[in-house]
Structure 1
Amino acid sequence: QRSYTTAEKRKVVSYAKAHGNRATSREFDGIAESNIRLWRRQKECLQALPRMKMTERGKSAAYPELEAKLVEWIAERRQQGGGVSIAEVRLKALTIAKASHGWGNRFMNSHGLSVRCWTTIAQKLPMDSDTKVLQFQKFIIKLHKQHCYDLSLIDNPYNRMLEVKGAKTISIATTGHEKSRFTVMLACTADGMKLLPYIVLKHKTMPNNVIFPNTVHVSVHPKGWIDEPLMLDWLQMVWVKRPGGLMRKRSLMVLDAFWCHHMKSVKKRLQQDKTDLAIIPGGMTKILQPLDVTVNKPMKDALRRKWNTWLWEGEHTFTASGCMKTPTLQDLTQWIADVWVELDPAIIRKGFLKCSIFNAMDGSEDDSLW
């Protein structure tokens, strides 16, 4: 069997119009008359296809007017610099027609759309990145030789600002909570042990009548950020209370260059707890931050799955105007707790090795340490 391009089909259709289907079949090496009749019926469609395209696969749009409006809406959002997810497109389409997961994939394929990551705010490595990596590794090895830290005493906390996927679309159109944010401070040790997630809600006071899971620690801040008092609170409520923390064995904490990590009060408290401090050089977190290198992506992917499950299968409440409300604080904190518990400790250990935080004394990645 032979495939024909759109340009070849157009040529056959033009010849058939002038000479008939049977003559055309003889002229073009015995093309079946049934194909010629089919192509003549598809004349208008063939005129719209690219010249070298073989065929138009896939189902035709069930709601062409809806899809035209969605394409226009997406273009407008992108011009304004806003992000658009496939879940948001489906939510938008649900107000008019049924939008299944398969429909979302077909819609993207039909209109040349794809899911992309942000590229304009990516962190760039400094020019002397190789030198900084070497200096950081030598510093860690020097401390390890001095104190012979146990694997459970090398810790890596991480601050990450989270925004619920899809909340922007819902709140802009309905509830007005597009700026609702919270910070999650994750911490783990080189042997894969995970400390309690420290969640900072964007509230002035602790919410009433909310039962948070006992596997997280929740605090509040007017802007939802980690500041000096909250960093000290994290040291008191999470770091000191970790397994073996009360024994105050010599330990090593690796932090990024966030401003409150440099505060005198934080350094003083670490000294009291016999904790040495190593600050990751500025601009180097993407290659020296274990949670950034191996943990952050699976955590975000798992949280995104939790969100999508709630969005499409969960029980929802609505405002007086009929708009869907966002997940409850209890739901959000429980998602974080569940995802953190389910994370494979081997991923954490791999991150410490890749970032040269607990390697062999010669600096190599020696798995026998584990």
Structure 2
Amino acid sequence: MVASTTVDTRGARSVPLKTTGHEKSHLTVVLAAKADGTKLKPYVVFKGSVREVKAMQNISGVVVASSKNGWMNEDLTADWLRKVVGKLNFGPRLLAWDSYRCHISAATKAELKRGYNVTMAVIPGGCTKYIQAPDVMWNQPFKASLHEPYDNWMAGDSDKEYTTGGNMRAPARRLLVAWVLKAWDQLDAALVKISFKVCGLTVAADGSEDHLIHCFKEGEPCASGRELLSQARQGELVEIGEGEEEEGDDEEEFNNKLVVEDDDDEDI
């Protein structure tokens, strides 16, 4: 989380940047939300340190896990589904996520069949920057909110540990979890809600909100997509109309047959 900017005297030949030396260390944060703006628990994955992670299970509002490399895997994806998405929902749900291998694996598909009442929608590779809500609207402000407490921590003297050689240690993992919780809480729920419309996930089916879809706006790469979507909708309406007409013809034929049969009965 090293900042991309710093402050120093104008014209300085070199600008030293104070760090802990752990710039390549990372953690995974899985964020998810509902279309009404409700934010689900963040799921934080650290590299190794199983014992330390178990000690953080009592932190409310977050799920902390670990893996060998600090990334999500099939087991953690199943754990995320159980602890974050959950099965306590009476209506059907649509889960829209990217084509990361853990999302589309056979194990994950099998897990989703175990009572979640969820239909999975996979965003094709290369399209997340256009139609995945976190990529389009959440990630930038969330990461910016993470930078702020890190910068304050680096500038201050509290919550720091040092090696025997006097080198500063990386922030404690419990502290990182606290920063993640705060950053997620600060993300505006209204922004989360509108992000689903911006990505075309919850726009009105009649096309009245198509102008909200970001990638369809003037100057964007998919600006022509709005007209194609409108044409596709019209095609569906025509097919529905034809289907209703055929159904109406079948019903009329059935009624006529009943009339004929009734007339025959009267003749008898």
Gaps of at least 5 residues in structure 1 are: 1-82, 88-103, 114-165, 172-176
Q: Aligned-pair distance for 1:262? A: 0.8
1:215 maps to 61
| Counterpart for residue 189 of structure 2 | 345
Corresponding residue number in structure 2 for 1:183: 28
Q: Which residue of 1 aligns with 2:39?
A: 194
**C-alpha separation in 2, matches of 1:210 and 1:204:** 10
Cα-to-partner distance string for 1:71-92 (whole Å, 9 max, x where unaligned): xxxxxxxxxxxx98445xxxxx
Do the aligned partners of residues 350 and 208 (structure 1) sit closer, same or farther apart at CA in structure 2, a change above 3 Å counting? closer
Amino acid at match of 1:232: A
- In structure 1, distance between residues paired with 2:47 and 2:171: 15
1:77-156 equivalences in 2 (<5 Å): 85-87=4-6, 104=7, 106-107=9-10, 110=11
Structure 2 residue matching 1:252: 3-state secondary structure: strand
Change (3 A) 1:209 1:199: closer
Q: Which residue of the partner structure matches residue 27 of structure 1?
A: none
The one-letter code of the counterpart of 2:62 is V
Are 1:299 and 2:142 an aligned pair? yes
Distance change (3 Å), C-alpha of 1:355 and 1:178: same
Counterpart position of 2:100: 258
| Equivalent of 2:48 in 203, 223, 228 | 203
In 1, distance between residues paired with 2:47 and 2:5?
27
Residue pair 2:131, 2:199 contacting (<8 A) in 1 also: yes
User: 1:343: Cα distance to partner?
Assistant: 1.3
SS at match of 1:194: coil
Taking structure 2 as the reference length, what is the TM-score of the superposition? 0.70
SS of the counterpart of 2:20?
helix
Query: Which amino acid is 2:163 matched to?
Result: T
Residue number among 329, 333, 338 corresponding to 2:177 in the alignment: 333
User: Which whole-Å CA distance do the structure 2 matches of 1:196 and 1:283 have between them?
Assistant: 27
Shift of 1:258: 0.4
Distance 1:292 1:188 in 2: 13
Tell me: CA distance 1:220–1:84, structure 2 relative to 1, closer, same or farther (3 Å): closer
Q: 1:354 aligns with which of 195, 198, 223?
A: 198
Q: Is the 2:203–2:209 contact (alpha carbons within 8 Å) kept by the matching residues of 1?
A: yes
- Please tell me the root mean square deviation across aligned C-alpha atoms, in Å: 2.8
SS at match of 1:286: helix
| Per-residue deviation, residues 36-86 of structure 1 (Å, max 9, x unmatched) | xxxxxxxxxxxxxxxxxxxxxxxxxxxxxxxxxxxxxxxxxxxxxxx9844
Distance 1:350 1:208 in 2: 34
Query: 1: distance between equivalents of 2:207 and 2:130?
Result: 15
The residue matched to 2:52 in structure 1 has which SS?
Answer: coil
Q: 1:209 to 1:273 in 2, by over 3 A?
A: closer
Residue 163 (structure 2) pairs with residue 319 (structure 1): yes
SS at match of 2:31: strand
User: Cα offset for 1:268?
Assistant: 2.5
Give the structure with higher Rg (CA). Answer: 1
Q: Which amino acid aligns with 1:259?
A: R
Give the secondary-structure state (helix, strand or coil) at the position aligned to 1:206.
helix
8 A contact 2:53–2:66 mirrored in 1: no
Residue 84 (structure 2) aligned to one of 204, 217, 238: 238
CA distance in 1 between partners of 2:13 and 2:167 (Å) = 30
The answer on whether the counterparts of 1:206 and 1:220 sit within 8 Å (CA) in structure 2 is no
Cα–Cα, structure 1 residues 292 and 112, in superposed 2: closer, same or farther, change >3 Å? farther
- Shift of the 261–178 alpha-carbon distance from structure 1 to 2, 3 Å rule, reads same
Tell me how many residue pairs correspond in the alignment: 207
Distance 2:198 2:95 in 1: 17
C-alpha distance in 1, partners of 2:53/2:132? 36
Give the counterpart letter for 2:88 in structure 1.
L
Residue identity opposite 1:322 in structure 2: G
Q: How does 1:24-63 map onto structure 2 within 5 Å?
A: none
* Structure 1: distance between partners of 2:185 and 2:85: 17
The structure-2 alpha-carbon separation of the partners of 1:84 and 1:216, relative to structure 1 and needing over 3 Å to count, comes to closer
Query: Which consecutive unaligned segments of at least 5 residues does structure 2 have?
Result: 212-268
Change (3 A) 1:188 1:264: same
- Which amino acid is 2:100 matched to? F
Identify if the C-alpha distance between structure 1 residues 193 and 85 changes in structure 2 by more than 3 Å, giving closer, same or farther.
Answer: same
